């Protein structure tokens, strides 16, 4: 009888422990969260010259038209600056954002989303590093 009771308690404990397991892949890191621009660095190369600019305050970002917000709504709806702007899909530590036919993949690092964007305009190339921090 003692053996049966010990087996029953062990079985009950294992059921309780396994019912509390959370699948990491099923928990969204961004859904329902809103982020704001907190850092932008861009390096522009062209005509034999390279220019680097960095902005890290809300005032600098706003003055240079770089401040914005983004929000990841349920159902994969992406909002930019408080307006519906596109879609999003999360894959592990990355989120892919599609807006106006353009797709950007960003890395999720805790409360920060980091984007690296390359823009080409004629003979100029700009590499942007943008950080958005959870509000």
pTM: 0.76
57 within 8 A of 131, measured Cβ to Cβ? no
pLDDT tens series, the chain, 135 aa: 444 444 344 444 444 444 444 344 557 899 999 999 999 999 999 989 999 999 999 999 999 999 999 999 999 999 999 999 999 999 999 999 999 999 999 999 999 999 999 999 999 999 999 999 999
**The predicted structure's pLDDT at residue 87:** 97
Output the pLDDT for position 120: 92
Residue 100's pLDDT is what? 93
Short-list 99, 134, 105, CA closest to 118 = 105
HSE-up of 121 (CA within 13 Å, CB side)? 5
Indicate the CATH number of 31-134 among 2.40.160.90, 3.40.50.2300, 3.40.50.800, 2.40.10.330. 2.40.160.90
- Domain regions of the chain by residue span: 31-134
């Amino acid at each position: 009888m003692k053996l049966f009771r010990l087996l029953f308690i062990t079985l009950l404990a294992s059921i309780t422990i396994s019912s509390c397991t959370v699948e990491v892949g099923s928990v969204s890191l961004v859904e329902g969260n809103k982020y704001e621009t907190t850092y932008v660095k861009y390096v522009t190369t062209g005509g034999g010259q390279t220019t680097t600019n960095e902005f890290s305050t809300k005032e600098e970002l706003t003055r240079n038209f770089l401040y914005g917000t983004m929000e990841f709504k349920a159902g994969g709806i992406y909002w930019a600056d408080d307006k519906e702007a596109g879609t999003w899909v999360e894959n592990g530590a990355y989120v892919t954002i599609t807006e106006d036919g353009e797709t950007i993949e960003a890395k999720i690092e805790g409360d920060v989303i980091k984007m690296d964007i390359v823009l080409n305009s004629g003979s100029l190339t700009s590499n942007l590093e943008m950080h958005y921090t959870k509000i």
